């Protein structure tokens, strides 16, 4: 007896699967291997994002003088420190419609002229 369908390949090792048509893996070993890889990738991604957020927070914290609630400075200072603009924890939009991007309790607003306003806000 012949079949037109090509054999399904194991999601983990890529070998042809022998047996039931709905099988996705050769065996439990391959299934566990695959699931562990997926989990490790997800954990790595989460860790990298959290690290980037913490680094952004530290950069803002170091630029804002102790006891101050806001500071206007050049965006170059953030750039030089390796600030990653794509990561933030939340946003805050004031009544004027300005949207601040926050990394935990430290936030910033992009201003004209390549400068930023750094703020600290615990709520």
Selected from 8, 9, 13, 58, the binder of Zn ion by CB under 5 A is 13
The CB-of-45 to Zn ion minimum distance in angstroms stands at 25
Binding mask 50-89 for Zn ion (x = CB under 5 A): ----------------------------------------
If one asks whether residue 26 binds Zn ion (CB under 5 A), the answer comes out as: yes
Q: Are 117 and 109 in contact (CB under 8 A)?
A: yes
Q: Which of 22, 66 has the CB closer to Zn ion?
A: 22
Selected from 10, 59, 63, 64, the binder of Zn ion by CB under 5 A is 10
The CB-of-17 to Zn ion minimum distance in angstroms stands at 7
Q: Where are the alpha helices (DSSP H) in 1-123?
A: 28-63, 75-81
Helix (H, G, I), strand (E, B) or coil at 93: strand
φ, ψ dihedrals at 10, nearest 5°:
-65, 135
The single-letter DSSP state of residue 83 is -
Q: Are 60 and 106 in contact (CB under 8 A)?
A: yes
Q: Are 86 and 63 in contact (CB under 8 A)?
A: no
Binding segment (CB under 5 A) for Zn ion, from list 10-18, 43-51, 70-78, 88-96: 10-18
For binding to Zn ion (CB under 5 A), which residues are involved? 10, 12-13, 26, 30
């Amino acid at each position: 007896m012949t079949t037109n369908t090509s054999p399904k390949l194991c999601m983990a090792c890529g070998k042809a699967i022998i047996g039931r048509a709905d099988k996705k893996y050769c065996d439990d070993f391959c299934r566990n291997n695959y699931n562990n890889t997926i989990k490790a990738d997800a954990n790595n991604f989460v860790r990298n994002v959290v690290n980037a957020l913490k680094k952004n927070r530290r950069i803002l914290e170091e630029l804002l003088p102790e006891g101050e609630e806001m500071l206007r400075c050049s965006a170059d200072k953030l750039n030089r420190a390796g600030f990653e603009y794509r990561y933030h924890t939340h946003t805050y939009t004031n009544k004027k419609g300005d949207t601040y991007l926050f990394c935990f309790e430290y936030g910033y607003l992009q201003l004209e002229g390549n400068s930023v306003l750094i703020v600290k806000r615990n709520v």
